[in-house]
Every structure is written in structure tokens, then in C-alpha cells.
A and B are shown apart, each in its own frame.
Chain A
């Protein structure tokens, strides 16, 4: 697997690295910036123009771009590159959990805890533990002395002291069959929250026709439960059936003539869910990790989904000195529903000057570093329609390409809607049973529909 893991800044200079196998000369890393340059498939060398897997002189470079950092693994073998990339991705997530944000500065400031984590997550190039909850149990940023460890009792509270010492004991959870939850958790109030969140990615053409759509859904569980509770999640039958169809590879029942039916394309479970049981007994049963987790994530294909917002866009160019952009947005859903935090990003040419707006709702702002006009609504009710007109002065010196280019960038929308999800998923019940403690607990369920990363409308 990986021989070395590097963290590099945006210019490819190493910030920190951990060598696991010592079979790669230190000169190999100096070549990396050059390799990025030489292997670029684009005309300009910018991010994303070089493929993430490169081979030079017998050494394989596998990188992941995270913000401005290159997270790079090197190997000589014909290693499982897919697993290496997934590992790097998990590693970044763990480090983000520890450092809040993984960037040049936080790496420099926290090298000692990073080394400690890198040591624990991978050994001799073999991935070990990347579960943040487990790691947090025995790798903490405060310093510890071994004195506390010498008490063999294992009790969490020292007699006579009120402070709870988290002990750095042998991480039994790490190697347990249930590796995601440690025993002995106690809450006064036992609560569990379920959020069903569906993010819609959609591509709509300028005539308002839907080109492609994808719904990424997740059931997020936030649990504050004592002991080792056994949970069973019940979903509505229609959705469950569709899930099983997807999992078993049987095509959806087209014969029913029910064309409106939603098709679940694929679903993934958190590692705590018993995968075998789902298939054989149609049951989602699990012992949850403490705190938050994405219990189920799924992908849905809906043939009848309509665009939630209709956009009418016009642009007029007044002899290359002035642009006039007109945009009309219509909330294409029932009037009793409303969307919140709607943000419409309208692309404009770079370096425009003194924009003037006419509009009848929301706020408008020019965002120079994104080259967009941002139209924000706190709330928009179904069936309502709003218009804005923006007048922009074009820079006197600009290349013609720029005036063509901005028209090709789609308009991006962000929004959030509460109270329903498009797939029709419903949580019927969440049974909670703790065999030893037998406590009462109440689950809470919320439904949220929101935009994904790319809810886009083309303008030409």
C-alpha cells in the first residue's frame, strides 16, 4: 500500500510527511510539482487539469486535492489505488475533526497530534483505524501522564475528585467486534433524533426542461442513548420495497403501471448496520455509535421530478460597454410550501463595474471573486414570481472571450425546504431496546429537502 504520505501546500512544497516504508528516496517528492506540470492535459495548468494518479521512474504518485493542499501518497507496488484514495479521504476527514479545518496553518500548529494520528491510522502502509470516535478515545490533544493508567480499576472517576479523567487505556473498542461504540455510556435523558435529508442535484436547460437529476438522501441519526442499545428502524413499505429491489438487482415493478413510483438506485449503510440482516430479514437493525452518524445514505432516481424553480433569463449587450441582465424566478411548487435561504448565483463577466439593480424582493450583491451576482431570499412561497434587472458596466479593456465565456456558466441555486422529502420516504418507527437498562426513550424525526452542490440552470 502507501509508502509515504505527504501534505503539500498549493505549490507542492512539503508541509509534513510520514514515511511508512522507507523505500522511496526523499528526492521523489521534489519532482512532484514538475510532474503536475508535465502531465497537465489542459492548456493552462490549473487545479484539476492533471490526473490524480501519476507514475514516474517506478514511483506512483496518488494525490487528493483538499482546499489548497495536495494530500499525496507514494508507492512502488501495484497497490490498491482506490483504497489508497479512499484512505486519504478518510484521513482528511479525521484530521478535520481534530483540527476543525485542515490547512497550511493548522498543520504547522498541530504537527505533534497529526503525527500521533498518522501513526494510529496507518502502519507500514496498511490502513488501520480511521473512525474518529474511536481515535478520540485515546488520542487527545492534551498531554497525559502514564500515572493515571497505572490504576488498573478502570473506573472513570477517581475517588474524591470531581473531574472526569479520560484515560488512555488500551483501546478495547478498537478491537472489539463492535468497534464503533464503547461500553459504559450513560445519559440522564435518552434521546434520538432522525433527520431525513435529501439533496437534489438538477440540471435544467434554458427552456426549463429537466436534463438530469439526482437525489442524494441520507438518514442522519443523532443519538444520546445509554448502554448498548439495540435499534430497529422501520420505513414505509413502498420505500423499503424499492430499496430491496435496488439491492437485489431486480428491476422496479414497471408492470404495475405506476410510473410515478420512485426508484431507489442504491443505498449504503453505516458500518453499524447488520448488512446480512437487511437482505434476509428486511430489517435495518443496529447498535448505533454515540452521537452523530449517517445511518443510511441512498440515491434516488425520479422520472417525474419537476424543476422546483423556473428561471427566465435574458441578457442584452449594449455595444460591449454595458450589459443588462434580466432574471425572473418562479417558485414551482404548491403555495402552502415555502423554501428558505434561496440563493441564486448569476454569472457575470469578470471585473464589471458599478452594478445597478432593480428588483422586487430579497437582496442583491455583486461577489467579485466568484464573478457572480448573488440574489438572496430569506423565504420564498410556492407559486410566487420575482424579477430582477441588473445593469453592469463592462471594463473598457476586456477580451472578447470573456464576454462569451460567462454565458456558458450555468446559474447555480441553493435552497432548503422543510417538512417533506421528494422520495416519499417516511420513518414509521425507531425501536430502541437496551437489554440491561430498559429505559424509555423518544425518537424525533425531521424531513428536509435541499439543493445539492450542483442545482444548475443553463442560460444558453
Chain B
């Protein structure tokens, strides 16, 4: 804009000193030339976009609100939305313009005004919002109505009480009968949104509304269809004719070009699948297969979410996609996360018919560059071998081949997989496994998982392993530095070997490991396990030892992870929502905010929860101690009895009951303490025989220090 630039230059030249950007903006905003004003507003918004704080210009920007230039109006409105909070009082000055605009002859302006007004998040604004909102909800123009419908959600967010009092929610329900599809769709979306906000169900679906929605469905925009389908998915159908009607009207949506419409439609149908005849269900399952596969003809991020949903659907209906294996083959350009996800699906689709094909494909992936893909593929080959017996031989051959061109990172995963295969086929592939193991040493492996698998194989097949004693010697020498997982495996292995293939050398190693495990290892599990073995071994009952230690493991049926049944039910409801990606129901990760200080509230509740837990812990501690105290007293009593001491027994008994009372009193006392009072805790402890009591008081003092 040459004139304004020239002017700016002149100003600069003559009198106005440069005071930085803001003062330059300020003078531009009050310029007498409309072009310069608009230009300045644009530059202010540009500054806002890059994160500069231009809130100080609020009054000057506000002066430009009354304009007929729609673009300028939009920019000023945008500025208002962003900085309303910094100048709540000044915002009220804008209401007049908003209200005026909401009566403008141009529907675009009316809609813009009502849209923006709802976005000005200032409490006082709500008071002015109700009237124009009521008017625009009944506007002649559908564009204005559909915008106003959403504004109800904004108002609910600001002041839910007022929103309900003014009857806006009822108006929304009425709007479901609007003649315009987009208004209906937005009314649905808004009701769903408000339901989520208030954690209640406001959209009361009945068969009449359902019918109406099914008709609207075909006329809607893609996003409107998604809202309607979402509402339908949650609808609990009454009878079979309704189920049929829904399925008939929803299935054509599977051909929609927007993948989100397709997945939403799939969800609606899946939710009805249990209510129809077997024959029809099978037919529909077949029908869902290709739309599901087509979800993969999208950008990788969309594919990723689709795959997570497919996993859920597959667990519910495992046969659905077994003819479509190739769709899930990994492409070279797929991002890493997508490759891993695809491999995960591939193993779930395998049947006896396509297993050989999949194995050949997995073999290719196992030779890829990415370590993660290689590891996942090796694991998948194992899963495949375990699931489908017919290809297990080939799978083992492939694993052996991978081992031969070994790179260290394959090795770790390979050993784990071999262990699993042995658990499934205990002897079938032993010769191959032994050649692999014969070649391997402890130093070749580094992760705890692979090491413990290796050790397990040593223990299980000790008779076939060459140079067994040397290997065990190395194992024993490194025992103390090992991960607890590996130590535990080593313990079991050496005990097993001692029973099946004993020799002086092995007995010596066993003794060394048991010694170290019981004296030098800090991990309680390993220590306890060692003690238990030691006990069993010292019984000298070899039959018992063998019965306990060499117990046969159950055959491994599958190594493919599965959801638990209740979780799966919840996940079907989560299809296409965030929960389907996390594999968790919504309640597990959604934290509803409570006002702007949500974080603070969260912290506070968290702290009070922790406090409760501590109190609980303290209480149970004390109860335990009290029980112990009684026991001790009993013991004393009986001891004294045996000694036949001279003291009067009655007195003794009174004392005993008194001290056990005292322990109970401490409990009450303690809860008093936690509720804020601080009395001397040791008051009741008078008896000399109740030695645990002072210990108790020490306990609470520790606890009190915690707070």
C-alpha cells in the first residue's frame, strides 16, 4: 500500500519518534485512512500469530470493530477472541456491535456475530448472549441456525445453569426436526458435545428420532453423517425391525469416500451384529471386510488408527479378514510405527491356507534395516510357528537361516522365540536348536529376557547340550552381576540339571549358586526361591524333589496377546475414539477439567488420596503390631505358667487385657491424630510387659513426620 507507507515514512521523518512496534501499531490503528487501519490490523494479527503479546493494543483495535469490511471485521473479531480475557471490561463495549451484527441483513454477518460472541470467554458476555442467541436459533437462514446451534454448546461451557434455564437444550431437541440437514447435524453434534461436557446423556434417542436421523443421514455433509452415526452407535434398539432398518440405511455409507464416515458406519453395524440371525451376521461380516481394508488406502497416520481399530474388531470377529492378508503387507516407505502395527495384524490373520505366504513375507521383513522391524518379524515368525503347526518346520528353517547370517540384534529375539517354540514343540526341532545353542555363549547375549531364555534351554535340555559344565561355570561366575530375572532362571536351571544329570562339578556349581543366592543377593524373590530349593534338596526325598522341580510345563498354545473379555467389550464401544488407540476405556485417560484451575484441583485430590492411603497403611500396620503384641503376651503368659512362677495369675490376666486394650486405643488415637488433634500417643502405655507399644508410638511419629 504505497500511500500509507509513504505516510508512515513522513511521520517518521517529521515528528514521531520510533517507540517500537506497539506505538507504531497504535498510531496505525487510529489513522484517518481506512486502508492504513486495515493494514495495521493485519500486521497486529501477524504479530499475534507469531506469539508476540499485542494485548496492550486492545482499546485501539476495538475502535475498528464497526466496519463494513467483512475481512477486517473478521480480523478484529479474531483479535477479540484471543485477548478478551485480558480486558474483560472493555469487551463489554463490543457487545453493542455484536448485537447489531446479529441483526444484520447479511446472514454471513449474523452468523459471524453469533459465532464470535460465544467465543468471547468473559462471564459478563453471557448475559448479553442469551437474547441474540435465542433470535438466531430461529433465524430464517439455515447457515445462521446451524452456527447458532453450536453456540449453545459454547454458552453451556460458560454458564451451564443459565443455558438450561433459558431452555436452549430443549430448543436443540426441537431442532432435530429442522428442515435443513446441516442444522439437524449440528444440533446432534452439539447435544453430544454437551453430554460429554456434563458427563450425562442429553440426547434422548427414541425410535422416532432414529427414523428421522436415518433419513437425514443421506443428505448430510460427511461430518454431519459422522455425528449422526455416532448418535446411532450409542442407541439401544428396541426390536428387530428397528435393527434391520438401521442396518439397511447405514450399510450404503460404507461406500462413502470419507474414511471416518466408513468407520463410524462400521461401528454402528458391529454394535447391532449380536442382535441378528447367524446367517445375516455372517453375510454382514463379509460385507464389512472390504471397507475395513480400504481404510488402509489413506495417509499413514490414518492407517495407524485404522489398524488399532481393526485389531479390536478382529478379536471380536477373528475370521473377518482372513482372505485379505496381502492388504496388510508392509510397504517399504511405511513409517516405522505403521510397519510394526501391520506385522501385529498379519499374525492375527494367519490361517493354515495363507501361513506359507505370510512366512515368506516375514522372512523378508526380518532382513530389513530397522532393528525394530527385524525384532518384531522374528517374534512374528515364532508366533506363526506356534499357531500353525503345518508351517512350523519351515519357520524353524527360516529362523535358522536368520541365525546363520546372524547380526547380534537378531540373536536376542531369536533365543526368546526359540524358547517359545520349544514350549510348543518340545522335541520336534531339537537338533536344530541344539546346533544354535552349541554355538552360543553367554557373552553373545545381553538382554535379561534373552539370557533367561538361553538358560532355560540349558536347564531343560541339559543332556543334549555340549560343554554343559563349562557353560554352567561361566554362568556361576557371573551370577552376582546378573539381572534378578536371569538369576531366578539360573537357579531353576542348575537345580533341574542337578536332578537330571548330576556330577561332582555340577553339585559344586549348585552349592556355589545357592550360597551366593542366599547370602549375597539382595533381591527377595531370588533369595526366597533359593531358600525353598535348598529346603527341598535337603529333604533327601528324590522322588519328591523330581515331582516338584521337574514338573512338566503346559504346552504353549499361543503367544499372541489378547484382550480380556470385559476389556474387549469396552473397546468395541471405543471404536474410532481415542480409547481404541490406547486400548483403554475412555474413563481411564480422560480427566474432566473443573474450571481453569483444573490442574490445581487434580493435585489436591491426588494429595488427599495419598493421605488416605497413608492413613490406611498406618492403621493396618498398627493392627498388625497389636496382634503381634497379644501373641507376645500370650507367649509370656504361658512361659511364666510353665515356670510356675509365684505371681498371682489373676493380676497377670488383668494386665494382659489392659495392654491389648491399649493397642486398640492407639488405633482410635491415631485416627484422631490424623484428623488434626495431637495428643500424647504413649499415654496408655503403662504396662511394662507390653513392649511393642512404645515401638508403635515410634511408628506414628515416623508417619507424622511424613506430613
> What is A's interface to B at a CB cutoff of 8 Å?
1, 14-16, 19, 21-23, 25, 41-43, 47-53, 55, 58, 60, 63-65, 75-83, 85-87, 89-90, 111-112, 115-116, 119, 123-131, 138, 143-147, 149-150, 152, 168-172, 174-175, 177, 179, 201, 203, 205, 211-212, 214, 216, 246-251, 265-271, 274-276, 278-279, 294, 297, 299, 405, 408-410, 453-454, 456, 458, 460
* Contact yes or no, A116 B290, CB < 8 A: no
Whether A48 touches B336, Cβ cut-off 8 Å, given contacts A115-B45, A249-B286, A275-B252, is yes
* Contact yes or no, A460 B367, CB < 8 A: yes
Whether A275 touches B255, Cβ cut-off 8 Å, given contacts A80-B226, A175-B142, A408-B369, is yes
Q: Which residue of B lies closest to A116 (CB)?
A: B74
* Contact yes or no, B143 A405, CB < 8 A: no
Q: Which residue of B lies closest to A266 (CB)?
A: B290
Residues 59-93 of B contacting A (Cβ, < 8 Å): 68-71, 74-75, 78, 81-82
Contacts of A169 in B (CB 8 A): 106, 108
* Contact yes or no, B286 A79, CB < 8 A: no
Contacts of B146 in A (CB 8 A): 128, 175
10 pairs across A/B with beta carbons < 8 Å? A41-B372, A77-B578, A82-B302, A115-B74, A126-B190, A128-B186, A169-B106, A171-B143, A175-B182, A267-B255
Contacts of B260 in A (CB 8 A): 80, 82-83, 85-87
Whether A129 touches B329, Cβ cut-off 8 Å, given contacts A83-B264, A86-B259, A138-B108, is no
B300 at the interface (CB under 8 A from A): yes
Q: Which 8 A-B pairs have the closest CB atoms?
A: A48-B335, A249-B287, A78-B586, A266-B290, A170-B107, A275-B252, A127-B223, A58-B591
* Contact yes or no, B302 A76, CB < 8 A: no
Residues 644-670 of B contacting A (Cβ, < 8 Å): none
Contacts of B329 in A (CB 8 A): 203, 211-212
B504 at the interface (CB under 8 A from A): no
Interface size in chain B (residues, C-beta < 8 A): 122
* Contact yes or no, B293 A265, CB < 8 A: yes
Given contacts A129-B221, A146-B109, A152-B105, 9 further A-B contacts (CB under 8 A): A42-B372, A43-B371, A79-B578, A86-B259, A87-B223, A126-B227, A128-B223, A147-B68, A265-B294
* Contact yes or no, B287 A248, CB < 8 A: yes
**Which of B147-155, B383-391, B474-482, B677-685 touches A?**
B147-155
Contacts of B331 in A (CB 8 A): 201, 203, 454
Contacts of A149 in B (CB 8 A): 105-106, 108
Whether A410 touches B69, Cβ cut-off 8 Å, given contacts A64-B299, A89-B302, A175-B143, is no
Instruction: With both chains docked as a complex, state the minimum distance between the C-beta of A262 and any C-beta of chain B, in angstroms.
Output: 14
B180 at the interface (CB under 8 A from A): yes
* Contact yes or no, A270 B147, CB < 8 A: no
B631 at the interface (CB under 8 A from A): no
Whether A116 touches B143, Cβ cut-off 8 Å, given contacts A49-B337, A55-B589, is no
Q: Which residue of A lies closest to B323 (CB)?
A: A251
* Contact yes or no, B252 A408, CB < 8 A: no
Whether A266 touches B147, Cβ cut-off 8 Å, given contacts A49-B335, A170-B141, is no
Whether A276 touches B218, Cβ cut-off 8 Å, given contacts A130-B223, A211-B329, A453-B333, is yes
* Contact yes or no, A55 B302, CB < 8 A: no
With the chains together, A216 CA to B218 CA distance in Å? 26
Instruction: With both chains docked as a complex, state the minimum distance between the C-beta of A129 and any C-beta of chain B, in angstroms.
Output: 7
Contacting A125 at CB < 8 Å: which of B193, B286, B593, B602?
B193
Instruction: With both chains docked as a complex, state the minimum distance between the C-beta of B69 and any C-beta of chain A, in angstroms.
Output: 6
Instruction: With both chains docked as a complex, state the minimum distance between the C-beta of A121 and any C-beta of chain B, in angstroms.
Output: 9
